[in-house]
Amino acid sequence: MYDLVLKNVRLPKIEEQYYIGIENEFIAEISRTPIKGKEEIDGCGDLVMPPFVETHIHLDTVYTAGEPRWNQSGSLFEGISIWNERKQMLTEDDVYNRAIKALCQLLKHGVLYVRAIVDISDERLTALKALLKVKEDFSTILNLQIIAFPQNGLISFPENKKRMIEAIKLGVDGISAVPHLERTREEGIESIKFCFSLAEKYNTFIHIFCDEIDDSQSRFVETVASYAITSGLKEKVTACHTCAMVYYPDSYASKLLDLISISKINIVSCPLINTVMQGRYDSYPKGRGVTRIKEMIQKHINVCIAHDDIMTPFYPLGSGNILQAAHMAVHAGHLTGSDELEEIINMISINGARTLQIADSYGIKKGNEANLITFSVQNTIDLIRYQPHCRYVISKGKVMAHTPPSKTIFYRTIQN
Ligand SMILES: [Zn+2]
């Protein structure tokens, strides 16, 4: 008799239905034949998967769109300017409450592994302290990593160097840089160098905002990849956005993609914000803002797709449903091949687990933590088509959320 049995669920690409037995927070059995539990949940023939992985979300800026004013131009620079104003009003309670609201939305949509970005360009480190408390308070429900991010730069805003070290001592999991926003290319490289020196010294992840600008001369990914090789940090390093890559000549991009592949760094693309924010300075045709995902798949680079923002000065929409980001990536990246559609789901699941370095304990298998999500769809492509809510979200063997599928009632007979 197991603590909990999830019955009548289908694993991806398998027709038969399974019973999953959970004991002491772990998956104890996966069986085609019925098993009994003290509590039993009918999966109704749903698809069951491991939870999604959000590899890049700003939990300090969530739900601040319009405060103190709306980003009318939609540009990154107006967003930064508004956030600099909003940042002055932060309190730990304000950040804590908004972060929890966002985490509940992510959880409802099946995300149980989260890498959160927090701006440290605030001398009081208010947001960081609030998110470290969120991490502690939510540790029994979801896996939260925190990255210290110097929104205003490291070299052009030197106070951030000191705050970065303070953030490490307070307990962040990783550190960041934003080289394309430093004053010069040389200072951008210096910021990357500083970030790597700290990561080596304190053994942290690196998660660098890289080339989030429509400038074919913004080429910091090559520096990040090169340092990842020489430092040996490799898979512990992530470059996110990399939007400028679509403006590079193909000859340079080809060399760069080989370098990224050799370096083993992870790439995180944020298709929701970058389709709407990039290309603002283009005439027609306008750039799509999403990095070269298609070519990265071909080079076996570990690419992830992230939601990034929920109602922030940078992006006014977002619901916490990471499938919306996957849907956008398919369109902006021309990723409609059948293998590509399957790979898109990997980019919000197993690839994310690799980036967070939790892949060894990720997935539905005996002995792993019982973290499971179910969907009332036929296959993974339907996840991208419909972007449905999870019917069940189970974390460490406990049902955390239940959203019954919506049902439409037709009042007249519709004939073809
Ligand atoms: Zn971001």
Mean pLDDT confidence for 69-94? 94
What is the whole-number distance in angstroms between the Cα of residue 308 and the centre of ligand 1? Answer: 5
Query: Pairing between strand 37-49 and 52-58?
Result: unpaired
One-letter amino acid at 141 equals: I
pLDDT in tens, 259-285: 999 999 999 999 999 999 999 999 999
What is the whole-number distance in angstroms between the Cα of residue 241 and the centre of ligand 1? Answer: 8
pLDDT in tens, 292-347: 999 999 999 999 999 999 999 999 999 999 999 999 999 999 999 999 999 999 99
Name the nearest CA neighbour of 73 among 281, 328, 218, 284: 281
Backbone angles phi, psi at 358, to 5 degrees: -125, 15
What is the whole-number distance in angstroms between the Cα of residue 283 and the centre of ligand 1? Answer: 25
What is the whole-number distance in angstroms between the Cα of residue 151 and the centre of ligand 1? Answer: 10
Percent of the chain with pLDDT over 90: 94
pLDDT in tens, 31-49: 999 999 999 999 999 999 9
Q: First and final CA of the chain: distance in angstroms?
A: 51
- pLDDT attached to residue 13: 86
What is the whole-number distance in angstroms between the Cα of residue 55 and the centre of ligand 1? Answer: 10
Residue 178, by phi and psi: left (phi above 0), alpha (psi -120 to 50) or beta?
beta
> Rounded CA gap, 340 and 209, in Å?
25
Mean pLDDT confidence for 88-92? 95
Collect residues with CB below 5 Å from ion ligand 1.
308
What is the whole-number distance in angstroms between the Cα of residue 140 and the centre of ligand 1? Answer: 26
The CATH label, of 3.20.20.140, 3.40.190.10, 3.30.2320.50, 3.40.190.290, for the domain at 52-360 is 3.20.20.140
Residue 140, by phi and psi: left (phi above 0), alpha (psi -120 to 50) or beta?
alpha
- pLDDT attached to residue 413: 72
- What is the residue-averaged pLDDT of the chain? 96
pLDDT band at 414 (very low <50, low <70, confident <90, very high): low
Mean pLDDT confidence for 230-241? 98
Query: Pairing between strand 392-395 and 372-375?
Result: antiparallel
Listed in order, the ranges of the chain carrying CATH 3.20.20.140 are 52-360
What is the whole-number distance in angstroms between the Cα of residue 272 and the centre of ligand 1? Answer: 10
- pLDDT attached to residue 76: 87
pLDDT band at 366 (very low <50, low <70, confident <90, very high): very high
Catalytic: which of 54, 212, 295, 369? 212
- pLDDT attached to residue 294: 97
What is the whole-number distance in angstroms between the Cα of residue 56 and the centre of ligand 1? Answer: 6
Q: Which tokens belong to 230?
A: 């020489």
- pLDDT attached to residue 15: 86
Any catalytic annotation for residue 295? no
H/E stretch holding 199: helix 185-202
Under 8 Å between Cβ of 227 and 262: no
pLDDT band at 416 (very low <50, low <70, confident <90, very high): low
Q: Which of 57-66, 141-150, 404-413 has the lowest mean pLDDT?
A: 404-413
> Rounded CA gap, 201 and 326, in Å?
36
- pLDDT attached to residue 415: 63
Q: How far is CA 388 from CA 108, 261, 376, 383, 384, in A?
A: 11, 33, 8, 6, 8
Q: Which tokens belong to 92?
A: 């730990």
What is the whole-number distance in angstroms between the Cα of residue 266 and the centre of ligand 1? Answer: 15
pLDDT greater than 80 at residue 51:
yes
pLDDT in tens, 171-188: 999 999 999 999 999 999
pLDDT greater than 80 at residue 412:
no
pLDDT band at 145 (very low <50, low <70, confident <90, very high): very high
pLDDT in tens, 207-224: 999 999 999 999 999 999
Listed in order, the ranges of the chain carrying CATH 2.30.40.10 are 2-50+363-402
> Rounded CA gap, 40 and 19, in Å?
10
Tell me, which fold does domain 2-50+363-402 have in CATH?
Answer: Urease, subunit C; domain 1 (2.30.40)
Q: What is the DSSP annotation of 228-241?
A: HHHHS-GGGEEEEE
What is the whole-number distance in angstroms between the Cα of residue 19 and the centre of ligand 1? Answer: 39
> Rounded CA gap, 189 and 215, in Å?
16
